[in-house]
Structure 1
Amino acid sequence: MRTIDEKQIKKIKEFIFKNGRLLERRLVSFFFEKGNKDDVIKALVAYQNLDGGFGNGIEPDLLCPDSTAIGAETAMYILDLLGYVNNEITDHLFNWIIKEQNEEGYINHPPKNLYNYPFQEWWSNPDDLRIFALSGFLKKWGLKDATFFEKVKYFYSNSSLPKEFTFYEYPYFIYLKYLGKNKEKKRCNNKLSTNSQVFLKRIRNIIHYLVDIGIMLSILWIKK
């Protein structure tokens, strides 16, 4: 298994501090320089809207200010890394997710202001699977809302699993880890090809060393 040495970490830091947002810089400081967790939270909260959701470009490929499910997941990933849950930030976020969940169990996408701001073309597509990742985090964090989880379960039960999983279907696995029953996990595992199993193993190894997507891009830059 490849690891990152001190020289590479220094290059990563230099790249992120030259090119990254304040949020990425604060994350690097926290994880590699004994930085302050509160400084990361302050940078993160800048992306939270009054409705409790997250937008404003927290997902760098989607710059509209509207709250979105991918914005919520990005924020939850960082909060989970920091162990910063069950507070005012997450309470407002919980309320937004529950309010935005439709009767089919997922959150509608794209947001209404998508086309008024820069975005990558794939974000004009539906993002229904995102609810699986959100529900996994919420279950892990101890949210007790039976109606919310029943709607997600209904959506999962009526979803058609892909013939072969790619990286972008990872929300299924977050859902199954925290909410799946044995028969549901078996249903999902039976769909995994040998190639997918190898792919997932590689992803797990990589994630162990990555703080956020900025560091992953930095590693690619180092190899040039």
Structure 2
Amino acid sequence: MYYEQSRNFIYKNARPLDIARWKYLFENGSNEDVLTALIAYQNEDGGFGNALEPDCWNPNSSPVQTWVATEIIKEINLKDKNHPIIQGVLSYLSSGKDFDGHTWSNAVATNNDYPHAPWWNFEPYQETSYNPTACFIGFILKFADKNSKLFELACVLAKEAYSYFKVNFPMESMHTVSCFVELYEYIKECSINNLLDIDEFSTLLHEQIQHVITYDTSKWTVDYVCKPSLFIDTKTSDFYMENKVICDYECEFILNTQELDGTWGITWSWTDYPEQWNISKNWWKSDLIIKNIRYIKALHS
């Protein structure tokens, strides 16, 4: 693997946030440096915007960009519930902004005012989506005060989300499925298994993951497809052993498809804002380097 080339690409091209993530994950860097870089994307309402999600350049807070922040919080294993970034996210989620009483919006109206990929275009009538709501429910269960109205709301929303999951099982949207996997993992981590039938949830997720993975690996280099790493990033995952063959194949695939400059090909694009897309594409390359090397280290260790 071209590890040095990947490192060089990161240092030359990545955002300060992703350089800090790289250092934390692979060079014994501090999570404080990641948080210092991350807070630059946080708005006064506690939500995140400012192209934290590289396909959406909206500076205003939105659920999806705030979800990206929660993923980074998870990546660096931040446990301090009182940290200003976590308290900010909880404040945004409890404010009712971009929330209809059941789910947070997948896209927001102000997206349309800034460069963005077509899938983040706002339409007035959106179908119900648990992307990223299912993740937020888990985040609240983990970090909110157990006596707060927000925690109480999350308990109700968890049951609603699980009912939706069962009614719509099996789902076709890989990103929504990954949000339900995260909800399951948050609930297990918090040891609040009486919230719903965790064993049934596990059984259904095993089947759901296998339903949505793209097993035609000839598509992996050219299409935006579903690989197991979307759901499984450690050997300790409840879903690893049953999917070990395809997970191990993805490791080999990653090693075999790395470019000479240490990057991997980005299999999606947006054409309406070519100048901004060229910048975002580089940001995505850095993110993909981090995710791929992290995956290989986790599964090949």
Task: Look up the equivalent residue of 1:96 and give its one-letter code.
Answer: Y
Indicate if the aligned counterparts of 1:164 and 1:196 stay in contact, CA closer than 8 A.
no
Q: CA deviation at 1:133?
A: 1.1
Contact 1:56 1:64 in 2 (8 A): yes
Q: Which amino acid aligns with 1:133?
A: C
Structure 1 partner of 2:261: none
User: Which residue number corresponds to residue 44 of structure 1?
Assistant: 38
The farther-off stretch of 50-59 and 103-112 is 103-112
Change (3 A) 1:167 1:10: farther
Q: 1:19, CA displacement in angstroms?
A: 1.8
Could you say which residue in structure 1 is the equivalent of 2:120?
123
Which residue of 2 is the match for residue 57 of structure 1?
A: 51
Spell out, residue by residue over 1:192-211, the C-alpha distance to the aligned partner (whole angstroms, 9 max, x if none): 5467397665556667899x
Whether 1:96 and 2:168 are equivalent positions in the alignment is no
Residue of structure 1 equivalent to 2:103 = 106
- CA separation in 2, counterparts of 1:94 and 1:151? 15
- 1:1-224 matches, within 5 Å, as 8-84=2-78, 85-86=80-81, 87-100=83-96, 102-124=99-121, 126=126, 128-141=130-143, 143-144=145-146, 145-159=151-165, 160-165=167-172, 167-168=174-175, 169-179=177-187, 180-181=196-197, 182-193=199-210, 196=213, 201=228, 203=230, 214-217=286-289
Distance 1:185 1:35, change over 3 A: closer
1:123-158 deviation digits (Å, cap 9, x = unpaired): 126554211012223323465211233134224423
- Asked whether the equivalents of residues 48 and 66 of structure 2 are also in contact (C-alpha less than 8 Å), the reply is yes
> How big is the alpha-carbon RMSD for the aligned residues of Structure 1 and Structure 2?
3.3
Greater than 6 Å deviation, 4+ residue runs:
197-200, 207-210
Identity %: 20
Determine the C-alpha separation between the residues in 2 that align with 1:190 and 1:21: 38
Instruction: Compute the displacement of 1:120 (Å).
Output: 0.4
Query: d(CA) in 1 for partners of 2:56 and 2:169?
Result: 25
Counterparts of 1:116 and 1:197, CA distance in 2? 34
Distance 1:133 1:204, change over 3 A: closer
> Residues 143 and 189 from structure 1, CA distance in 2 versus in 1: closer, same or farther, beyond 3 angstroms?
farther
Q: Distance between the aligned counterparts of 2:52 and 2:94, measured in 1?
A: 20
Question: Residue 118 of structure 1 aligns to which amino acid in structure 2?
Answer: P
In structure 1, distance between residues paired with 2:21 and 2:233: 18
Q: Is the 8 A contact 1:104 1:154 kept in 2?
A: no
CA distance in 1, matches of 2:234, 2:9: 19
Residue pair 1:48, 1:54 contacting (<8 A) in 2 also:
yes
Q: Distance in 1 between matches of 2:287 and 2:181?
A: 23
The Cα shift of 1:173 comes to: 0.9
Number of residues of Structure 1 aligned to a counterpart in Structure 2: 213
SS in 2 for 1:151: helix
Shift of 1:190: 4.5
- Name structure 1 gaps, 5 residues minimum: none
Paired with 2:142 and 2:164, the residues of 1 have a C-alpha distance of 23
Contact 1:29/1:35 (8 A) holds in 2: yes
Deviation at 1:186, TM superposition (A): 3.5
Moved more, 187-196 or 81-90: 187-196
Change (3 A) 1:112 1:9: same
Secondary structure of the residue aligned to 2:5 is helix
TM (normalized to structure 1)?
A: 0.78
